[in-house]
Amino acid sequence: MSSKSTTKTPQAERVTTTEDIHPMTGFLRMDRMPHIWCPTCGIGTTVKCFAAALDKENYDLDKVAVVSGIGCTGRVAGYMKLDSFHTTHGRAIPFATGLHLANPELKVVVFSGDGDLIAIGGNHFIHAARRNIDITVICINNFIYGMTGGQCAPTTPLTANTSTTPYGNYEHPFNLPHLATSCGAVYVARWSALHIRRLTKSLQEALRKKGFSFVEVITPCSTLYARRNKLGTGLDLMNYYHDMCEIDHDVHPEDVDINFQENITLGKFVDIEKPTFLDCLEDGYKEKLGDKYLSVRSSHTRELVGHD
Ligand SMILES: Cc1ncc(C[n+]2csc(CCOP(=O)(O)OP(=O)(O)O)c2C)c(N)n1
């Protein structure tokens, strides 16, 4: 049952497409392999952890949808064997919000790069967190715009070199866990592409969580960011995560800033309960409309909110 890729790139040689040897083939569109991600990029690792989380949680895959925007991470949607949507730059969250509201039974997951989610999509991010929309957002933070050539992003550490900041970046970056927390997210965690067991467990928790859950995955772009900043190879990056990441679940998210080549704090920073947007809507409409109200949560009646 194995089909070998005929593409001649070195990557394709290594990722010989098989239907039967990789444990995650059930979650992936193997006909799309080889994927576009560079060797040692953490996006693939995160996809594997996500697939493992779905597997462990025994999700009905017909009830899971993945939404991505644009960029290297945006390609995740195309590789997952799920209902998946590769949307426009920065618009994964509004698309996901619509999907969730139209069919609340779906588990809707956004996979996004840091530029896509927090630069062009930043406004959508803060408002979805504020409203506590019941979706899971996974952000691959590679510290730059990867796909378009390594430009500076709102997450680029201070002083780091990028293609648009050849003398260093002098804009303060966002601290994503702090941003998500202060906007209202009910689950906030940060892991690295090295911490695969913890990341998988965290993704399981985030998926289970009712409300806006956010998991940041630190995985500096092993091609553009690492090369420009002379950080070595992907293996050197792995050693870096190993030596410089500290796990601290009790730290306040405002204290988990990332500074260039300094320690990175990982952990689960927030795990709270709060009514979701739909919970609030349902309660409010029931109170205002009484018997006339038909729940938006029921697949049979959701088109009839407040209908006479
Ligand atoms: C409206 C719009 N503006 C700009 C672009 C160009 N563009 C494509 S991907 C990308 C950056 C994506 O960066 P990030 O979200 O960090 O993803 P990565 O590639 O690093 O995974 C940009 C600016 C676009 N596709 N659409």
Residues 268-302: tens digit of each pLDDT = 999 999 999 999 999 999 999 988 888 777 654 44
Instruction: State which amino acid sits at residue 175.
Output: N
Check whether residue 73 and residue 176 sit in a common domain. yes
Computed over every residue of the chain, the mean pLDDT equals 91
Per-residue pLDDT tens for 9-41?
333 343 445 555 678 889 999 999 999 999 999
Task: Note the pLDDT of residue 230.
Answer: 96
CB of 113 within 6 A of ligand 1: the answer is yes
Residues 6+ apart with CB under 8 A from 166: none
Nearest CA to ligand 1 atom 22: 148
Per-residue pLDDT tens for 160-173?
999 999 999 999 99
CB of 54 within 6 A of ligand 1: the answer is no
Residues 6+ apart with CB under 8 A from 47: 28, 76, 79, 80, 111
The sign of the dihedral angle between the CA atoms of 232, 175, 140, 189 is positive
Check whether residue 257 and residue 283 sit in a common domain. no
User: Residue 215 belongs to what H/E stretch?
Assistant: strand 213-218
CB of 177 within 6 A of ligand 1: the answer is no
- Which residue range(s) make up the domain with 296? 275-308
CB of 147 within 6 A of ligand 1: the answer is yes
> What is the whole-number distance in angstroms between the Cα of residue 280 and the centre of ligand 1?
34
Q: Are 214 and 139 in contact (CB under 8 A)?
A: yes
- State how beta strands 136-141 and 144-145 pair: unpaired
Check whether residue 252 and residue 186 sit in a common domain. yes
Check whether residue 261 and residue 134 sit in a common domain. yes
Nearest CA to ligand 1 atom 1: 89
**Count of domains observed in the chain:** 2
Check whether residue 47 and residue 65 sit in a common domain. yes
In this prediction the pTM is 0.91
- Two structure tokens written together for 91: 């618009």
Task: Note the pLDDT of residue 32.
Answer: 94
Q: Are 308 and 289 in contact (CB under 8 A)?
A: no
Residues 6+ apart with CB under 8 A from 68: 74, 75, 76, 77, 78, 84, 85, 86, 87, 92, 110, 111, 112, 116
Q: What is the domain-level CATH number for residue 56?
A: 3.40.50.970
> What is the whole-number distance in angstroms between the Cα of residue 69 and the centre of ligand 1?
8
Check whether residue 147 and residue 240 sit in a common domain. yes
Task: Note the pLDDT of residue 296.
Answer: 72
